[in-house]
Structure 1
Amino acid sequence: MNHKITKTLEFARVKGMLARYLVSTAGHHELEHMAPQGDYDRVQHYLTETTDGADILRLEGGIPIPKLADIQPQMKRLKIGANLNGTELAQVAKVLQTSMSVRNFFEQMREKKIELRVLDQLVDQLVTIPSITQRLVRSVDPDGRLNDEASTKLHGIRQLIVKTEGEIHQQMEHYTRGKGAKYLSEPVVTIRNDRYVVPALARYRNKLGGVVHDQSASGQTLYIEPAGVVEYNNRLRQAQIEERQEMLRILAELSALIAPYRHDIQNNERVLGKLDFINAKAALAHDMKASLPVLSRENHVNLRHARHPLIDPHKVVPNDIKIGDDYQAIVITGPNTGGKTITLKTFGLIQLMGQSGLFIPAEEESTIGVFDNIFADIGDEQSLEQNLSTFSGHMDNVKAILEQITNRSLVLLDELGAGTDPKEGAALAMAILDQIGSKGSTVVITTHYPELKAYGYDRAKTINASMEFDQATLQPTYRLLLGIPGRSNGIEIAQRLGIDSAVIDEARSLVSDDSQDLNQMIGDLVAQRKAAREESERLSKLVAKNERTQKELDEKLSRFNEQRDKLFDQARSQANHQVSMAKRKANSIIHHLRQLEVQQGANVKENQLIDAQGALNALHQEDPRLKHNSVLKRAKAKHDLHVGDAVLVKSYGQYGELLDKRGNHKWEVQIGILKMEVDEQDLEKVAKKSLPKEKTPQHSSAVHTTQTRHTSARLDLRGHRYEQAMSELSDFIDHALLNNLSSVTIIHGKGTGALRKGTQQYLQSNPRVKSFGYAAPNNGGDGATIVNL
């Protein structure tokens, strides 16, 4: 990837955001080498690493890596046989200690059945040296100071030093607190030339005796080592020399101990730096609310709600950007300040991030391409040193781009053709786009030239786009509108700013009618697009809400089914237990009867048989709750049918009397003078005394019918399909007969005549129809038929 594109799109600022999450020098080295890649498999691998890091951050809070210093200089010194100091050994020990803790961390993740994709193989490269690590940790403090436990001799020497210093302070108290204190400028003990001394007044030098080691600037104070302390100071000095020699020996021993493992330690540092870098990528994605992009081998890009990563997330306007499938080129037109350049940079920067293995600031399932190179000409390329104008600078860039692009390149051009005569600039821009298109590159350009609107409409694989403006306020909304060219709002803005109306009218008269009509059309398209987007957002929220509700209902239903199955199992178990007990008791009763029969022959007494039958009957148990359930009682009574019962035939809404049982579930029912066979599910028992007089079943020849629904004497079949109309006609005639209607009207309309013909054929075939004919001219004519029943 060329370095100019990373500078133009400010990719370094994204790397700066990532640097804040790094804790190791090796991690910073990884960041320095991070760059967009043009190889599909490599980009996929880097994204998979970031996905593993994001999973670990979500499940475990991240990989536990502390702040680690750069140990490469130490490893180089070990290579030439040099010894490391305490601080350097502490830094090496921290790397080894972290290697062990990271391996243990990933082992615990394996025990938790947390599956990763690629990081397990990376962690397996860590080499742990437990014995040497423990020796270093025991011997060296994190700040580089050697511990007393580094060796037995060092421990003994330091105990002697502490003891000697205590004795020196005891001796010094005779001078700082005793009679000799009056000879001191201050009653304190201090150190000069690594020996304990007291500050004495110069005029009392002979009063104290001992050795003078220093004096003040004024010469009034002498720093004297009293004679009584000289021997203690000598002993302390000897112990300090022995301590320094032992420390040097220990440092040399520890350096020699780790020297054979310097390659493993260097590799550990590299692996930990890589893990630190992956940690940082995951943390940045979390804080940026970025998502894993889907890679397209065909370079089909579909960014959903893409956001510029360097703009305040509370102010940035997300946009959908789609290219590569239906079209290879996008021409974004429209006035300045609408956000064209930012949209261009957003697309380019998101591609750089994705091809560097970073999650992108867009919604999930967004797709990016893997371009072999990305080129951009954005901003003012004027150069005073090279004596290039703005136009010349842009053309110089475009020339270099045209020489390098392939069918897998992405080209971003801002204000293509600007800086020269509009006619020539537009023509040049179209020619450049044709050249880029001939090489198969993906290209997005921004321009002011209206001629390119027609170009975007006419050229294959090319689409127009613009930035949305609020029609009411003429302010930009910074939303990208694909498929709609930009309109000019210059005259409207001038009018809103208070320019004289005469000037505005003159300007409008100079603009062609075609341009005004085009602007009006674009304005209508923008308004429609905005309304459609708002409706889509509303529906998306509604769908999301319904999905959450459906998920809750599914969970509740699942819990209900589990509880129901559990209760069924419990009930089945209890029922089986009760059946088992009942069988056992029944067998006992039968056995007792057989014994009686054997003992007494055929003379089993009647009261014994009655007692046995009672015992058997007692085995049947009913649920006491059902026994007193009034609802069940009423439902059961309605279906306890017997010959002679008054019933309601529910499907006809008619009352009748049961005459006879036909089969298991059929009854013969008398309804007026009619007798019919009805399924018992269609019958409902009613009380005879509660029936209205006219509804009481009669055996006389008179037939009394009850209107089951409000039946009109008019049926309108207009607008109905033929089969539906014939079915409604048949039902209508039946209900008319049941309701004793002598004449009805069928409205079938004129139309094609199909309904009219079908109506007449049905009426001719029905024996209950006495006659029929067309209605009077003032009542519908041949569009309606009067039927006499």
Structure 2
Amino acid sequence: MDDRSLKVLEFYQLLEFLKTFSVSPLGRKRCEALRPSTDLPSIHSRFIEVLELKEIIEAGGDIPLGGLKDIEGIFKKLEVEGSVLEVQELLDIHQQIDLCKGLKRFFQKLKVVEAPHLQEKISKLSTLKTLEKEILQAINTKGEILDRASPTLKEIRQQLSDIREKAKTVLEHLFHRKDIESIFQEQFITLRSGRYVLLIKSDYKHRLKGIIHDQSQSRMSYFFEPLEVVNLNNEISILLGQEKEEQDRILAELSNRVREERQNLWSDFEILGEIDLLYAMAKFSIQLKGVEPLLNENGRIDLRGARNPILSFQKGDEVVPIDLRLGDGIKTLIISGANAGGKTVALKSLGLLTLMVQCSLPIPVKEGSQTVVFENVLAVIGDEQNIEENLSTFSSHLLHLNQILEKAGPRSLILLDELGVGTHASEGCALAMAFLDRFREKGSSIVVTTHFDRLKAYGYLHPDVENVAVAFDEKTLEPKYTLLYGVSGLSNAFLVAEKFGISEEVLQLARLHQDGGEQEVSRVLEQLERLRTAAEKERTELLQAKEEVVRERQRLKELIEEIKKKRQEIYSQAEEKARASVLKLDEELKKWVQRWKDERSRSKSSRITLPRREIQEVKEKVFPRLRVMTPEGQTGGIRVGDHVR
């Protein structure tokens, strides 16, 4: 990515905010080194890790990173063969080993959320139990080399302790000698250059044999080594030298053990730095209420409710969200409108949010937003004057534009603030349109801000270019800081000047001096906007009418379906009722047949007449209300012997 563009888009200022959320100098260094990536899989992978850690933090967990240090200098020192680490450096190595152990334990016990990607990363941390034990065997947490570090060291220190006690005993005996009791400034044993001495009055320096080591600030006393302890002090000095040699040997041995594990320790160091960076990114995201947008490769940007992250940190909820859209046939946006209306902020917001996404930083937008991964994000914003190279604002502006044009390609996002300013308006506008032509030919995605009316007209003449206006309230003379797509904005310079208290005389003179040609273009654009607004209103009304017709059609369809459903229910009920009647008739007929058989068996007559009257009674009992329509429209009952279907 172009470093100059990163600066003008305030990317480095964003990193300053980010590193405040890290817990260690190592994490802060990782934040400062963060740069946008162009590799989609790696961007997505880190996004997953950030969001997993964010979920852990929001669930009340906090990863154990306290005490993490930047020990890169120790690794560089270990590269020198034979170099010996200091005690504190060994303790720092131990601290890292302990941190790795704590992190592994934390993620093994993690139950509140699932974090498979983070757990996989943490599983790669080394388990250096032997080295940890060896360091703790030799050094305590106060930075002292312990007696148990080696048998030799223990023996030397025991000898030192014995001789020191012997020297103190000799000196204390001198305090009790009556003949020299008066020479002592005070009964006080101290050390000078590692040797035991007494404090004697300067007037009595010849009363005892010995060595004067120093004089007090008041010059009233001497630090005096009596002859009686000279040999003992000499023995102490020899033993101290032996102790130092043994300690150096122990440190060298431990340093070699650390050097043997250098690759594992360096790998752990890298992972810990990455974890602290992810932690800072997760905390940063929580603060900004950031989300992961969808990433596509079709050039479509749709950032809904986007907020500038720098302004969000500074002003919180006061920041007005905007919608940033590009794609679906539109490759260039021309943003126009009043000064201080939010044009440059919109431009910077798009650039900065794109850079954040390519760093895998969740961005302050609504869920469902989407954007693109660009190979280059190139921006020209602000004053381009270069005093060192004796370049004017316009000259530097042109040179920078030309450099960007050389780098631009199909996967470039080009952000140009006030394109073509700094020279004659007509020539500057012509240059601006020429640059836009070239950027469009290269297939770049482009967003420019302008006050040039001809550049606004350019937006209406090309199907891949869209005008965007920053909304302005002409009643309150206040910007609304929102974007209106498909329309160009008026600069409203006179209204803004009036708001800031410019005198009416100046404004009247300004109107007289206003260029007629430019006024004509402005009037044409205003007329075009009115026509566009009327057409948009008519289109909206037609869409509403269409939607009403669709809703009415749907309502009628639902009504017809309801009628069909009711009719089917009625048929089903009638069928069920008929079925029950048939069953009832069948039962009655069975009873009647049984009675008829019984009567026949009892009757002596050989001729039995058909009991029509009883059958009619059964029929009327079962179907008391059943009637059918005759061909003539008359109702009539069904009689026995009638043909039915």
TM range (shorter): 0.7 to 0.9
Matches of 2:410 and 2:330, distance apart in 1: 14
Does the alignment pair 1:387 with 2:390? yes
User: Is 232-241 or 332-341 further displaced after alignment?
Assistant: 232-241
CA contact (8 A) 2:20 2:28 kept: no
1:547-586 mapped onto 2 (5 Å cutoff): none
Matches of 2:58 and 2:175, distance apart in 1: 64
Aligned position for 1:446: 449
Q: What displacement does 1:344 show? A: 1.0
Matches of 1:159 and 1:234, distance apart in 2: 16
Note closer, same or farther for the CA distance 1:509–1:247 as it changes in structure 2 (3 Å cut): closer
Aligned position for 1:332: 335
Q: What displacement does 1:181 show? A: 6.0
Matches of 1:663 and 1:147, distance apart in 2: 115
Aligned position for 1:145: 144
- What is the aligned counterpart of 2:491 among 488, 498, 513? 488
Does the alignment pair 1:504 with 2:505? no
Aligned position for 1:40: 40
Q: What displacement does 1:195 show? A: 0.8
Matches of 2:510 and 2:250, distance apart in 1: 94
TM-score scaled by length of structure 2? 0.74
Matches of 1:325 and 1:503, distance apart in 2: 43
CA contact (8 A) 1:86 1:144 kept: yes
Amino acid at match of 2:397: H
1:226-265 mapped onto 2 (5 Å cutoff): 226-230=226-230, 232-265=232-265
Note closer, same or farther for the CA distance 1:142–1:347 as it changes in structure 2 (3 Å cut): farther
Matches of 1:291 and 1:433, distance apart in 2: 33
CA contact (8 A) 2:339 2:493 kept: no
1:322-401 mapped onto 2 (5 Å cutoff): 322-401=325-404
CA contact (8 A) 2:55 2:113 kept: no
Aligned position for 1:224: 224
Matches of 1:113 and 1:54, distance apart in 2: 13
CA contact (8 A) 1:154 1:243 kept: yes
Q: What displacement does 1:150 show? A: 2.3
Amino acid at match of 1:108: K
Does the alignment pair 1:115 with 2:117? no
After superposition, what is the alpha-carbon deviation per residue over 1:551-596, rounded to whole angstroms, capped at 9, x for unaligned? Answer: xxxxxxxxxxxxxxxxxxxxxxxxxxxxxxxxxxxxxxxxxxxxxx
Matches of 2:47 and 2:6, distance apart in 1: 19
What secondary structure does 1:298 align onto? coil
Amino acid at match of 1:461: D
Q: What displacement does 1:415 show? A: 0.6
Q: What displacement does 1:63 show? A: 3.0
Q: What displacement does 1:343 show? A: 1.6
Matches of 2:513 and 2:388, distance apart in 1: 45
Note closer, same or farther for the CA distance 1:501–1:171 as it changes in structure 2 (3 Å cut): same
After superposition, what is the alpha-carbon deviation per residue over 1:177-234, rounded to whole angstroms, capped at 9, x for unaligned? Answer: 9865642345543321211212212221233443322335776532112345445534
Note closer, same or farther for the CA distance 1:343–1:171 as it changes in structure 2 (3 Å cut): farther
After superposition, what is the alpha-carbon deviation per residue over 1:474-512, rounded to whole angstroms, capped at 9, x for unaligned? Answer: 122333333332113233345553634796398289675
CA contact (8 A) 2:470 2:484 kept: yes
What secondary structure does 1:267 align onto? helix
What secondary structure does 2:131 align onto? helix
Amino acid at match of 2:69: L
Matches of 1:359 and 1:34, distance apart in 2: 14
Matches of 1:236 and 1:3, distance apart in 2: 62
Matches of 1:128 and 1:69, distance apart in 2: 20
Aligned position for 1:105: 106
Aligned position for 1:54: 54
Amino acid at match of 2:108: E
Does the alignment pair 1:85 with 2:89? no
Q: What displacement does 1:448 show? A: 0.9
CA contact (8 A) 2:78 2:259 kept: no
Highest RCO, 1 vs 2 (Cα 8 Å, sep ≥ 6): 2
Aligned position for 1:427: 430
Note closer, same or farther for the CA distance 1:143–1:326 as it changes in structure 2 (3 Å cut): farther
CA contact (8 A) 1:382 1:393 kept: yes
Amino acid at match of 1:438: E
Aligned position for 2:408: 405
CA contact (8 A) 2:339 2:491 kept: no
CA contact (8 A) 1:25 1:70 kept: no
Note closer, same or farther for the CA distance 1:168–1:298 as it changes in structure 2 (3 Å cut): farther
Calculate percent identity across the aligned residue pairs.
Answer: 34
TM-score scaled by length of structure 1? 0.61
Figure out how many residues of one structure are paired with residues of the other and give that number: 535
Matches of 1:118 and 1:484, distance apart in 2: 46
Amino acid at match of 2:41: D
Q: What displacement does 1:522 show? A: 6.2
Aligned position for 1:469: 472
Amino acid at match of 2:21: Y
Matches of 1:326 and 1:445, distance apart in 2: 17
User: Is 23-32 or 100-109 further displaced after alignment?
Assistant: 23-32
Note closer, same or farther for the CA distance 1:362–1:148 as it changes in structure 2 (3 Å cut): farther
CA contact (8 A) 2:336 2:488 kept: yes
Matches of 2:463 and 2:126, distance apart in 1: 58
What secondary structure does 2:360 align onto? coil
Aligned position for 1:313: 315
CA contact (8 A) 2:190 2:196 kept: yes
Q: What displacement does 1:377 show? A: 1.2
Note closer, same or farther for the CA distance 1:143–1:363 as it changes in structure 2 (3 Å cut): farther
Does the alignment pair 1:266 with 2:270? no
1:167-316 mapped onto 2 (5 Å cutoff): 168-169=167-168, 172=171, 182-216=182-216, 220-230=220-230, 232-311=232-311, 312-314=314-316, 315-316=318-319
User: Is 345-354 or 36-45 further displaced after alignment?
Assistant: 36-45
After superposition, what is the alpha-carbon deviation per residue over 1:511-551, rounded to whole angstroms, capped at 9, x for unaligned? Answer: 7588468559969999xx9xxxxxxxxxxxxxxxxxxxxxx
After superposition, what is the alpha-carbon deviation per residue over 1:29-55, rounded to whole angstroms, capped at 9, x for unaligned? Answer: 544542112222222222223223323
Any unmatched runs of 5+ in structure 1?
Answer: 530-661, 669-675, 678-789
CA contact (8 A) 1:96 1:129 kept: yes
CA contact (8 A) 1:74 1:88 kept: no
Amino acid at match of 1:61: G
Note closer, same or farther for the CA distance 1:169–1:310 as it changes in structure 2 (3 Å cut): farther
CA contact (8 A) 1:75 1:266 kept: no
Amino acid at match of 2:395: S
CA contact (8 A) 2:48 2:117 kept: yes
CA contact (8 A) 1:326 1:461 kept: yes
What secondary structure does 1:487 align onto? coil
Amino acid at match of 1:395: L
Matches of 1:213 and 1:48, distance apart in 2: 69
Note closer, same or farther for the CA distance 1:54–1:176 as it changes in structure 2 (3 Å cut): farther
Q: What displacement does 1:324 show? A: 2.0
Matches of 2:173 and 2:530, distance apart in 1: 100
Aligned position for 1:741: none
CA contact (8 A) 2:75 2:262 kept: no
CA contact (8 A) 1:371 1:408 kept: yes
Q: What displacement does 1:167 show? A: 5.6
Matches of 2:126 and 2:506, distance apart in 1: 84
Q: What displacement does 1:357 show? A: 1.8
Amino acid at match of 2:375: D
Matches of 2:330 and 2:474, distance apart in 1: 29
CA contact (8 A) 2:68 2:99 kept: no
Aligned position for 2:606: none
Q: What displacement does 1:457 show? A: 2.4
Aligned position for 1:763: none
CA contact (8 A) 1:21 1:284 kept: yes
After superposition, what is the alpha-carbon deviation per residue over 1:310-329, rounded to whole angstroms, capped at 9, x for unaligned? Answer: 23133533322111235211
Any unmatched runs of 5+ in structure 2?
Answer: 537-619, 627-645
Aligned position for 2:11: 11
Matches of 1:518 and 1:157, distance apart in 2: 96
Aligned position for 2:482: 479
Note closer, same or farther for the CA distance 1:425–1:262 as it changes in structure 2 (3 Å cut): same
After superposition, what is the alpha-carbon deviation per residue over 1:36-79, rounded to whole angstroms, capped at 9, x for unaligned? Answer: 12222222222223223323333463432232232454465366
